[in-house]
Amino acid sequence: MADVIEVGAARDDAPPPAGHPRRRGVTERGHRATPYLFLAPYLVLFLVFGLAPILFGVWISLHQWDLQLPNRPFIGLENYRDLFSSDSADYADWWSSVRATAIFTVLSVPLLVVVPLGLALLLNEKFPGRTFFRAAFFAPYVLGVAVIGLLWRFLLDANLGMVNRLLGAVGLPADTPWVTDVPWAWVSLVGVTVWWTCGFNAVIYLAGLQDIPAELYEAARVDGASAWDRFRHVTLPGLRPVLLFVLTTTILASANVFGQSFLITQGAPGEQTRTVVWRIVDEGLRNYDVGQASAMSVLFALMLAVVSIVNFRLFRYRED
């Protein structure tokens, strides 16, 4: 509130625009309402599609809630307790899906942060065919997960797939179970995801790189800085906000992995590659236990919130 009034007051001090004499009261009211009016469209959307469903979800998670069953008894924290007590039917599935999601996130995020950065540095250089390569690396990202999922499932098939055949042709083992056994399934899922989405992060880096003033590089060069020094002391600091953005969105995107394991490994072996989002979808839409699914969502959101806060803290620390 205080900020808003301050802004309004500051504006009042400014001379009125020529040719627009204004009546004080009306304008002041107008000033006060203006930020809210500008905010209103988003605020309405946020309330209706953001905040309200979140609160409703929390409410549902405290009930034994089923879309059709008539009674939806309030059961307090029982849905949450189920996720923490080892004798419930949901316990093992839930924590195995958290484990799967954690493995995927820890393996994929570093690659999805570093590989696109290298790619962006290369694509930022001037060389013939640069536009072509920029398009080529971005291209997989425009494909849907169903397309890349089916494509890679067949390419990676242990017995019929192209990947094993090529490996065999160059004398490497040709029977690696890429999609039916761990750790190979993780290699496949992470590899496919990097191939699929690294173009997106690269484009964001590229935009960030082009924002770094060329004079800084010139000055560094004049001072005798090597290529590594220029990267370390000019490029990286210049990219810090972009890095934070890329890191945060990539962690969230990786934690929400669903389609890749659903289509490529189908959870195999057993349920070892079934992820949290898959688990939630199953619980809510296939078992119709919306209460339990909401409890899972809330818990998962809290986990991700903690990770994001740590992430922001780390970057702020560096700035100090």
Partner 1 sequence: MIQNEMSRRRLLGLGLGLGAAATLTLAGCGGGSSSDKSTAAGNGGKDYTGPKVDLKLWNGFTGGDGDIFKKLVEQFNSEHQNIAVSVITYEWQDYYSKLPGAVTSGNGPDIAVMHMDQLATFAARGVINELDDVAKALELSEGDFAPTVWKGGLYHDKRYGIPLDMHPLGLYYNKGVMQKAGLDPNKPPTTKDEYTAALTELKKSGIQGFWVSPFQFTGGMTFYSLLHQWGGTLFDAEVAKATFNSDPAVEACTWLVDMIKQGFSPANVGQDADYLALKSGKNAFNWNGIWQINDLKKSPSVQWGVAPLPQIGSQKAAWANSHNFTIVKQRAANENKVSGSKVFINWLSQHSLDWAKGGQIPARKAVREGAEFKALPEISALAPELEYAAFPPAAPGLGEVMTTFYNSFNEAALGKKSPKQALDDGVTKANKQLEDNRKKYGS
Position among 43, 268, 304, 307 found at the interface with partner 1 (CB under 8 A): 268
25 binds partner 1 (CB under 8 A): no
Taking residue 255's Cβ as centre, other Cβ atoms within 10 Å add up to 22
* Half-sphere exposure in the Cβ direction for 184 (13 Å, CA): 17
Structure tokens given for 67: 């879309």
28 binds partner 1 (CB under 8 A): no
Position among 15, 70, 129, 224 found at the interface with partner 1 (CB under 8 A): 70
Structure tokens given for 188: 């496949």
Q: What backbone torsions phi and psi does residue 278 show, to the nearest 5 degrees?
A: -60, -45
236 binds partner 1 (CB under 8 A): no
SS3 213: coil
Our CA angle for 89, 94, 100, nearest 5°, is 140
191 binds partner 1 (CB under 8 A): no
Minimum CB distance to partner 1, residue 189 (Å): 14
Residues 6 or more apart in contact with residue 242 via CB below 8 angstroms? 204, 205, 207, 208
144 binds partner 1 (CB under 8 A): no
CB crowding 237-252: b at 16 or more within 10 Å, else e: ebbeebbbebbeebbe
151 binds partner 1 (CB under 8 A): no
Position among 130, 166, 287, 306 found at the interface with partner 1 (CB under 8 A): 287
173 binds partner 1 (CB under 8 A): no
Residues 71-100 that bind partner 1 (CB under 8 A): 87-89, 92
Residues making contact with partner 1 (CB under 8 A): 64, 66-70, 87-89, 92, 153-154, 156-161, 175, 177, 179-181, 262, 266-271, 282, 285-289
